């Protein structure tokens, strides 16, 4: 579980630097600057000796206690560091630095329970520390408090990806679902104009695939707050069930345009519309417009997944179109390239097979598959010399491949590679090479 640390070094803001101390005499000044010098060169033991001399002179100086705590912390002497920072806070509780010192001790020792009251205090200095508090609640299994704080944060601004993850994790917890559902339902009754409660309940139902219940909440939300984008999460399905593609499309784009909606919800809405569009091709133009909304998705290449969807339905035209789009979206997606070439072979578009395979080889010269596809394409075009040359160029990578591995480069793939070489040699009347590759093939087929 992530545990967020916001170092005090990054949050000075309007605080006075405790190092800027009015020193009363030369001896005190010398000891203080000696402590600073020794700390600067990481002689923490010597820095402690020097700062303790300062404390002997001024035992109620909070800044000296803070400096002492920093040096103990650098030595990982957590007990003495904690005591020093506590004394600094007792002497002056208005300095954020001193509270942060305590937080650093508890962070490094993973004492989450002790961290909570410290972070609650730090929030008074910086509201961004609420993210730390959520993380602490999660680490101590106080999910109710975490969700309550997350809802407050969401009402003020968009949640970060980490906070969204925490929120969904809480809502997907079976132990928390029932009381959360009842709490939200009661909150909606008390204040039907509070959008966030509807949103949380829709997300809760959606996370358990209870689409009918989510739709009922969305309908209620649409009635109470007609301008809410969140009502469209379930209205998409409602319009699709009524065969109303125009309004379904409008609702889908309302969802996709909303930056606060979780990507998982957007994927679900998009997939529902895709199924409808396949049966009603006039709406495929909306699929094309929707795909760019997922360009920042680092986990899923949506265009590629749409291509696979069409390929399974034997719609080769759309499959090749969306594989091309997927490759443009991610020029490093070798799987998309290989699947695209497979589709072109099924289409018997061998000119495109050879052209694309050779283009891909320019970027990925060690990918054996591209040599195979190019060779197959040239054989089909009866350009046997080109086929033989490019297939033999790829032989080194076939040799290096371990046939026991799973995936596209399995033993059957190697068998097909040699079959293509045999076709090339036979048509070129190269009997020696043909015999060599035939023997290789026999070994693989054993």
- What pLDDT, in 10s, does the model give residues 281-313? 999 999 999 998 888 777 788 899 899 988 988
d(C-alpha 82, C-alpha 65), whole Å:
10
**Mean pLDDT calculated for residue range 415-438:** 92
Q: Where are the domains of the chain?
A: 27-172, 367-445
- Give the per-residue pLDDT at 89: 87
pLDDT digits (tens, 9 = 90+) for 150-188: 888 887 778 888 888 888 777 666 555 555 788 888 889
Residue 25 φ then ψ, to 5°: -150, 170
Q: Does the pLDDT of residue 383 top 70, yes or no?
A: yes
- Give the per-residue pLDDT at 171: 67
Half-sphere exposure of 57 (CA within 13 A, CB side): 17
pLDDT digits (tens, 9 = 90+) for 109-129: 888 888 899 988 888 888 888
Tell me if 143 sits within 8 A of 173, measured CB to CB. yes
- Give the per-residue pLDDT at 7: 30
Domain 27-172, CATH 1.10.1040.10 — does that match?
no
Residue 129 φ then ψ, to 5°: -70, -10
Among residues of the chain, what percentage have pLDDT more than 70?
Answer: 87
More confident position, 7 or 365: 365
Q: Does the pLDDT of residue 212 top 80, yes or no?
A: no
**Mean pLDDT calculated for residue range 407-421:** 69
Q: Which stretch, 50-64, 379-393, 398-412, has highest mean pLDDT? A: 379-393
- Give the per-residue pLDDT at 343: 94
pLDDT band at 249 (very low <50, low <70, confident <90, very high): very high
The whole model's pTM is what? 0.53
Q: Does the pLDDT of residue 337 top 60, yes or no?
A: yes
- Please state, in angstroms and as integers, the Cα–Cα distance from residue 441 to each residue in 115, 168, 362, 434, following that order: 67, 53, 28, 10
Question: What residues have CB less than 8 Å from 177, skipping those under 6 apart?
Answer: 171, 204, 208
């Amino acid at each position: 579980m992530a545990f967020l640390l916001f170092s005090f070094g990054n949050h000075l803001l309007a605080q006075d630097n405790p190092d800027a101390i009015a020193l009363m005499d030369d001896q005190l000044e010398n000891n203080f600057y000696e402590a600073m010098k020794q700390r600067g060169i990481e002689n923490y033991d010597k820095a402690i000796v020097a700062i303790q001399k300062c404390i002997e002179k001024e035992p109620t100086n909070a800044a000296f206690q803070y400096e002492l705590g920093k040096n103990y912390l650098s030595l990982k002497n957590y007990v003495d560091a904690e005591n020093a920072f506590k004394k600094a806070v007792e002497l002056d509780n208005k300095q954020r630095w001193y509270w942060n010192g305590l937080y650093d001790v508890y962070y490094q020792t993973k004492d989450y329970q002790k961290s909570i009251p410290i972070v609650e205090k730090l929030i008074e200095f910086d509201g961004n520390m609420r993210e730390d508090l959520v993380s602490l609640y999660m680490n101590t299994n106080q999910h109710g408090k975490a969700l309550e704080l997350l809802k407050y944060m969401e009402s003020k601004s968009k949640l970060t990806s980490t906070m969204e993850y925490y929120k969904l994790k809480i809502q997907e917890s079976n132990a928390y679902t029932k009381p959360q559902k009842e709490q939200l339902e009661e909150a909606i009754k008390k204040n039907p104009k509070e959008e966030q409660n509807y949103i949380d309940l829709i997300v809760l139902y959606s996370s358990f695939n209870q689409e009918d219940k989510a739709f009922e909440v969305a309908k209620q939300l649409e009635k109470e707050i007609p301008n809410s984008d969140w009502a469209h999460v379930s209205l998409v399905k409602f319009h699709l069930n009524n065969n109303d593609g125009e309004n379904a499309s409008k609702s889908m784009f309302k969802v996709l345009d909303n930056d606060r909606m979780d990507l998982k919800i957007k994927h679900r809405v998009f997939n529902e519309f895709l199924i409808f569009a396949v049966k009603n091709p006039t709406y495929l133009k909306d699929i094309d417009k929707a795909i760019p909304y997922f360009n920042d998705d680092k986990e899923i290449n949506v265009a590629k997944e749409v291509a696979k969807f069409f390929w399974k339905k034997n719609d080769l035209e759309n499959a090749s179109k969306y594989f091309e789009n997927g490759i443009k979206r991610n020029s490093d997606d070798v799987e998309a390239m290989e699947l695209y070439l497979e589709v072109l072979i099924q289409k018997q578009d061998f000119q495109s097979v050879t052209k694309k395979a050779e283009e891909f080889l320019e970027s990925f010269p060690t990918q054996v598959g591209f040599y195979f596809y190019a060779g197959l394409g040239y054989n089909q075009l009866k350009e046997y010399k080109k086929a033989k040359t490019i297939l033999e160029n790829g032989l080194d990578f076939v040799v290096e491949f371990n046939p026991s591995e799973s995936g596209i480069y399995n033993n059957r793939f190697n068998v097909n590679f040699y079959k293509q070489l045999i076709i090339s040699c036979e048509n070129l009347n190269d009997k020696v090479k043909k015999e060599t590759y035939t023997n290789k093939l026999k070994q693989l087929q054993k």
